Amino acid sequence: MLATLTKDQKTASPALADASTQEIYRELLRRMGEDPDRDGLLRTPERVEKSTAFLTKGYTQSVDEVLHNALFDVDYDEMVIVRDVEFYSQCEHHLLPFFGKAHVAYVPNGKVIGLSKIPRIIDVFARRLQVQERLTRQIAEAITDAIHPQGVAVILEAEHLCMMMRGVEKQQSNTVTSAMLGVFKTQMQTRNEFLSLVRTGRGSNL
């Protein structure tokens, strides 16, 4: 059973109300033309239930919980950048992965955030069904809410399997999205400094 189902979600489809999640995956295998009772597939519903719970565990997490109070009063008002953070998410249209690198920057306003918490915040939102634009925005807003900095910038560069292994089948394209808040929106110089520091990182195609 996925931990995230509310009572309403469970009863949303009365015909399936009594079916377990694993029974539903067995049925999906059957409808793919497979035999869910053959050796290799016997434990597949159990594995898929477990891996799906992991890949969507962002629904059961909150930013407060992952921050764990790791916010520090530090007298530093230059840009902090955590770049080339790999992330894996799933597109909400096809339930296929999209994945790539996140680059996050902020200019503090009296408080800094524990460095490891930036990738943790990214994952809280990446491990949900997403569109890349919303994911980008949610990361920027979560950091803003946590430390009220002078500004936050987030760039995501991602490859979408729904555009690669199906649909338009384009293997070389990637999608870049950004959210620029506060001084990253109002001060061209700050935004440019961020962009040039991202470009000199290891994993950026910008």
Q: Which residues carry out catalysis?
A: 91-94, 132, 160, 162
CB of 92 to Zn ion, least distance (A): 8
Among positions 41, 48, 70, 131, the unique one binding ligand GTP when judged by CB under 6 A: 131
Largest CA distance in the chain: 63
Q: Which stretch binds ligand GTP (CB under 6 A): 5-13, 23-31, 141-149, 158-166?
A: 158-166
Q: Which stretch binds ligand GTP (CB under 6 A): 29-37, 52-60, 68-76, 129-137?
A: 129-137
176 phi and psi angles, rounded to 5 deg: -115, 130
Among positions 117, 118, 127, 132, the unique one binding ligand GTP when judged by CB under 6 A: 132
Q: Which residues bind Zn ion (CB under 5 A)?
A: 91, 93-94, 162
In contact, 105 and 81? CB cutoff 8 Å: yes
167 binds ligand GTP (CB under 6 A): yes
> Which residues participate in the annotated binding site?
91, 94, 162
> Which residues participate in the annotated binding site for Zn(2+)?
91, 94, 162
